Amino acid sequence: MAGHVDSHDHDAHTDSDGHGPAFYIKIWAILLVLFLISVAGPEISHHKAVILVTAFGIAIVKAYMVAVNFMHIKHEKKYIAYIMFAMLGAVFLFYIAVSTDVQMTSGSNWENASAKAVIEQHKDFQEHIEHE
């Protein structure tokens, strides 16, 4: 009875698909290239779109690659992925509903005076950055 858990691992598992060390090293190499792009992109251009795509777009791609190839989420039961997406869904739901209050400084019939005051205090920050 003691060995049963290990044996489970084998039959439900992935390495029969030909995932060997060479495969993992290849994935790692791809991740490194993506990582270099994500660092280099924002260094080269300060354009907002470039930062968004290189830094955050690539982060999503990297996370996907790690989840699929290292965590083998593809080979799990489908609902594991659904559960993870549901949890992410909860996080985004939180963002969507809360950002209307916390991220904005004014809305329909309201304004957040103290947040506006804080922004006003720091309005010369652009000079501050260039000064650095």
Partner 1 sequence: MATNHAEHHDHHEMSFWEKYVFPLDHKIIGLQYLLTGIIMGFLGAYFSYVFRMQLAFPGIDVPLFGLVTSAQYNSLITNHGTIMIFWFAMPILVAGFGNYLIPLMIGADDMVFPKINRLSYQIFLLSVVVLLSSFFVHNGGFGGAWTAYPPLSAKAEYNLTPWGSILWLIAVVLEFVAFLLGGINFITTLMNSRAKGMKMMDIPMVCWMIVLASILFMASAGPLIAGAAMLLFDQTIGTGFFDPARGGDPILWQHLFWFFGHPEVYVVFLPAMGIVAEVITTFSRKKLFAYKVVLFTTFATGILSFFVWAHHQFIAGIDPRLANIFTVTTLLISIPIAEMLFVYIATLWGGAIELTTAMLFALGFLATFLIGGVTGVFLGASGADIYFHDTYFVLAHFHYTFVPIAVIAVFAGLYYWFPKMFGRFMDETLGKIHFWGTMVGFNGIFMPLFFTGAAGDHRRIFDFSNFPELAVSSLQNLRIAATVSVIITAVFQFVFLFNFIYSMFRGRKCTVNNPWKANTLEWFATCPPPHGNFPVMPEVYRGPYEFSVPGRELDYWPQNEKV
Partner 2 sequence: MGTTTPIATTRSVTGMPTGRLAVWWVIGSEIVIFGGLLMCYLMFRLKYPYWAMYSVHTNTFAGALNTFVLLTSSLFIVLAHYYAERKEELKAFGLIWATIFGGLTFLVIKGIEWTTEITNGFTITSSMFWSFYYTAAGLHALHVIAGMCLMAWISMDVLQKKNMHRVELIGIYWHFVDIVWIFLFPLLYIAK
Q: Could you list the residues that contact partner 1 (CB under 8 A)?
A: 1, 86-87, 90-91, 93-94, 97-98, 100-102, 104, 107-110, 112, 114-115, 118
Contact 106, 112 (CB under 8 A): yes
Burial class (CB in 10 A: 0-12, 13-18, 19+), 64: exposed
Write down the least CB distance from residue 109 to partner 2, Å.
19
What is the DSSP code string of 12-81? T-SGGGS--HHHHHHHHHHHHHHHHHHHHHHHH---HHHHIIIIIIHHHHHHHHIIIIIS-GGGS-HHHH
Partner from partner 1, partner 2, none contacting 107, C-beta within 5 to 8 A by type: partner 1
* DSSP 8-state class, residue 2: T
Partner from partner 1, partner 2, none contacting 33, C-beta within 5 to 8 A by type: none
Residues that bind partner 2 (CB under 8 A): 1-2, 4-6, 8-10, 12-13, 15, 19-21, 24-25, 27-28, 31-32, 35, 38-39, 42, 46, 51, 55-56, 59, 62-63, 66-67, 70-71, 76-77, 80, 83-84, 86-88, 90-92, 94-95, 98-99, 102-105, 115, 118-119, 122-123, 125, 128-129, 132
Taking the C-alpha atoms of residue 29 and residue 35, their distance in angstroms, rounded to an integer, is 10
Write down the least CB distance from residue 113 to partner 1, Å.
9
